[in-house]
Structures are given as C-alpha cells and as structure tokens.
Amino acid sequence: MKRIILFASGSGSNVENIVRYFEGHPAIEISGVLTNKRDAFVIDRCNRLGIPVLYFNKSGFAGSSLVLQVLQCMNPDLIILAGFLLKIPSELVAAFPKRIINIHPALLPKFGGKGMYGKHVHTAVKAQGESETGITIHFVNEHYDEGAIIRQFKVGISERDSVDQIAAKVQSLEHKHFPEVIEAILLDT
C-alpha cells in the first residue's frame, strides 16, 4: 500500500477532494494531514472524514527536527502540499527527494515565488491581462515554486472575469487533475 501525507494551511478543499478520491483505493491510502494553523478549517474536515491530523507550530517545523522525525516514522511514499504556505526546510527536501509535490494556482514560472499564493496569484494574473491561467503540479525543492514541473493544466480567462471567477476556474482544475496526477506518480503510470 502506498502512503500519502498531506500538508495544508487553510480550508482544506484540496485535502478533502484528495481524501475522497482515494477512499477505498486498493493501492493508495491517506496516512494523515499535517497543518501549521491551529484554527485551519482543514482540521474540521479531517475530523469529519476520520483522517488523523497533526498540528505543529512554525518553530517545530523550521527550527527543529520534530516534523522530520514524525514523517520518517510515518514513512510516506509521497508528501503532498495542498494549500500549504510555509517554505519547506532543506532538511525535509533532502530527506524526501522527489517525494514532495506541490500544486500552484498559476502556470509557472509566471506568478510564482514568495507571497504568490491564493488570491494574490489570481489578482496578479488579472492585472497582467492574461488570456489563460491554470495550475502547475511540481516537485518541491529549496526555493518557492522552482521545483521541476510534473504537469500543467490551462484554462482560458477573459478580461471580464473577476478575481473570484478566475479563482473558481483554477480550483476546478485543481480538483479535477491533482488527485489523478498523484495517483499516476504513485502507480508509475
């Protein structure tokens, strides 16, 4: 059985989508969710879905080996960043090479880097007058949004689209494609 650990900082809509996608899967299971936000709605989602969730504070993440030790004990085949906003420490990247993936709500390398997440990305896409946007699923390295790209999916947008409409189009791509790409990576298809 292949094991997934998810990291999330927010509402957890991608976490719930991934959990539901893999429910009853014969070869893949969700081992747990880690979050750095004590009041993140993802905790409520995990409790409702029966998924173990672990909270850690920022110093337990970047300032110690606590999270690394937990992950080593859980021995995941893949670590998924699903709306997780902290930079992954180099110790974690080194301990899990090509086993940490992230989803970014734009077509990297455009609109990536520190501070480019959520509505900040969609606002920038709109301000630039882009005719398309999308998602990038990529491996995580020591730098924000610079790891090797695994897959990108695009959607057309118009100048009339609001930031919220752009966000909805991007989230639809996330929910459709992220679980499928995770499954393909784990099953080598």
The reply to whether 122 belongs to the active site is no
Residue in 104, 122, 143, 177 annotated catalytic: 104
Q: Tell me the residue type at 5.
A: I
Listed residue (86, 88, 87, 118) closest to 105, CA to CA: 118
Listed residue (42, 120, 36, 27) closest to 70, CA to CA: 36
State the DSSP string of 33-53.
EEES-TT-HHHHHHHHHT--E
H or E element in which residue 137 lies: strand 132-139
The catalytic site residues sit at 104
